[in-house]
Structure 1
Amino acid sequence: MKLTVYLAGEIHSNWRNELKDKAAALKLPLLFVGPMENHERSDNIGEDILGEQPNPILKDAAASQINNLRTGLLLKKADLVVALFGEKYKQWNTAMDASTAISLGKPLILIRPESHHHALKELSEKASVTVESVNQALKVLSYIFEDGK
């Protein structure tokens, strides 16, 4: 059985590659998908497809429509969602993706540092599992495939 895992979270650090590499080393049968990680591509996709927009607000709106379509489709197809809230960046997109996963009934592994406990307490209570590190999330993913013998 191969599971599709949507990796929600900030796109500025290397956490996705760390998780993917460790999962591959364990030979876990996982296919990873997620948001567009190329920030420039994500910001410009609306104009790349629809043409130049008359102002920055409409440029953002055009890009958001296309990014939301992509994210929504991939979230719906995912078997499981891992959402990382890190220390450094404002993470509204992560909160939106995690909330969407919950509303779709998708199992959610929420990664958040202890320092974000209070800010994310409601979201954490709706997640399937809350952990504090990528390594702990990997252990949860690995446990899914243990045969119990």
Structure 2
Amino acid sequence: MRLTVYLAGEIHSTWREEIKKKSLALDLPIDFVGPMENHDRSDNIGEEILGEQPNAVFKDAAASSFNNLRTGVLMQKADLVIALFGEQYKQWNTAMDASSALASGKPVILIRPGKLHHPLKELSQKANATVETVDQAIKALAYIVE
């Protein structure tokens, strides 16, 4: 059985590559999808598709439409969502993606450091599993496909 896993979370660090590499090393039957990781492309996709926008607010709105479309399509095709909350970046999109996944009945593994226990307590209670490290998430994936 092959799984498709949506990797929700910040796009500034290499955590997705770490998950992919460790899953491959364990020969887990998993395909990974996620948001556009090229930050400039993500910010500019609205203008790439619709043309130049009159100001930054309209530019962001146009980009958000297409980024939300991408997220919605890929998340709906996913069997599972992993949402990573790190300590360095604000995580508005991660919270939105995890909440959307839960609302649509997608199983969610939440990765968050112990320091973020309190601000994420409600989301952690809704997630199917909450772990503190990528390695723990990999172990959960391995258990699912065992």
Q: TM-score range by the shorter chain?
A: over 0.9
Where does residue 115 of structure 1 map in the other structure?
A: 115
Where does residue 99 of structure 1 map in the other structure?
A: 99
Q: Which amino acid aligns with 2:91?
A: Q
Q: Equivalents in 2 of 1:64, 1:22: separation in Å?
A: 31
Q: Which amino acid aligns with 1:94?
A: T
Alignment of 1:141 with 2:141, yes or no, is yes
Q: Equivalents in 1 of 2:24, 2:53: separation in Å?
A: 42
What SS is found at the alignment partner of 1:140? helix
Where do 1:1-149 residues align within 5 Å?
A: 1-146=1-146
Q: Which amino acid aligns with 1:76?
A: Q
Q: Which amino acid aligns with 2:66?
A: I
Gaps of 5+ in 2: none
What SS is found at the alignment partner of 1:62? helix
Q: Equivalents in 2 of 1:113, 1:22: separation in Å?
A: 19
Q: Equivalents in 1 of 2:31, 2:71: separation in Å?
A: 16
**Identity of aligned pairs, percent?**
73
TM-score under structure 1 length normalisation:
0.97
CA RMSD across the alignment: 0.4
Q: Equivalents in 2 of 1:31, 1:110: separation in Å?
A: 18
Gaps of 5+ in 1: none
TM-score under structure 2 length normalisation:
0.99
Q: Equivalents in 2 of 1:51, 1:42: separation in Å?
A: 15
Q: Equivalents in 2 of 1:113, 1:21: separation in Å?
A: 21
In the TM superposition, structure 1's runs of 4+ consecutive aligned residues that sit over 6 Å from their partners are: none
